């Protein structure tokens, strides 16, 4: 089955700096890669996703890049703000697994003013 | 408007006393999932329904069961909760692979279960 590794487990950044979280996946059949943001005690919220036919996708301060050859994808947050503080999860799924998401272990992001 | 609704938001149950968590959706999605999320960990898939087809993860304990009586509702039954079952239980829905590869999930707010 799919295995997703996520690094780092914690990330502290100064407000205004950039944050980068990296994930690797094992199943070459995976073709959908979402990123979720989860604030304490709340549900995971989809913030951006990318499909395997695209190398990069951007939405305002958030971007995701995908390297299919190396089987890794990354989340980039620019101009970080205190409200970006949360746990971020990457995930992967494939057509062969009924769209079932396999999550990474999560990254605790702390943005300090 | 809430599209995936979980009840209750908080549940305290005694060790060994059966408990049922519920999830309902207004999205008419084919697939409904149950995830268990323990403190500071990633969500872990317990099982999912694709329409009426039930799919159990290999490492989901037998203590956990699920029912999906119709498209809108799905239940998680824990027959004899142990202290280690204290966790947030998240329900999610998606269109599934039948919809042109649109796998986007919608999560409910979760039920925080405490076993005492």
On the question of pLDDT at A1 being above 90, the answer is no
Exposure on the CB side of residue A103, measured as CA atoms within 13 A: 22
* Min distance A89 CA to chain B CA atoms (Å): 7
Contact between A104 and B55 using a beta-carbon 8 Å cutoff: no
Please write the tens of the pLDDT for every residue from B46-104. 999 999 999 999 899 999 999 999 999 999 999 999 999 999 999 999 887 544 556 67
DSSP B63: T
pLDDT at B103: 62
**A54-101 tens-digit pLDDT:** 899 999 999 999 999 999 999 999 999 999 999 999 999 876 666 688
Q: What local confidence, expressed as pLDDT, does residue A64 receive?
A: 97
pLDDT bucket at A51, cuts 50 / 70 / 90: confident
CB contact under 8 A, A99 and B40: no
């Amino acid at each position: 089955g799919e295995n997703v590794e996520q690094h780092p487990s914690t990330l502290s950044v100064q407000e205004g700096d950039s944050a980068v979280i990296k994930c690797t996946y094992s199943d070459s059949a995976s073709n959908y890669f979402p990123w979720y943001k989860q604030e304490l005690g709340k549900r995971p919220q989809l913030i951006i996703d990318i499909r395997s036919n695209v190398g990069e996708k951007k939405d305002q301060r958030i971007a995701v890049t995908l390297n299919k050859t190396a089987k890794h994808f990354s989340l980039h947050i620019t101009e970080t703000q205190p409200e970006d503080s949360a746990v971020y999860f990457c995930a992967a799924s494939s057509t062969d697994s009924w769209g079932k998401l396999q999550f990474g272990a999560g990254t605790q992001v702390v943005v300090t003013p | 408007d809430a599209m995936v609704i979980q009840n209750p938001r908080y549940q305290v149950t005694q060790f060994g006393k059966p408990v049922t968590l519920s999830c309902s959706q207004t999205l008419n999605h084919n697939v409904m999932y149950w995830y268990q999320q323990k403190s500071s960990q990633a969500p872990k898939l317990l099982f999912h329904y694709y329409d009426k087809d039930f799919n159990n993860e290999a490492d989901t304990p037998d203590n956990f069961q699920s029912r999906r009586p119709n498209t809108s509702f799905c239940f998680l039954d824990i027959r004899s909760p142990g202290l280690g079952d204290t966790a947030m239980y998240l329900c999610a829905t998606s269109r599934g692979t039948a919809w042109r590869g649109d796998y986007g999930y919608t999560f409910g707010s979760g039920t925080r279960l405490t076993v005492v």
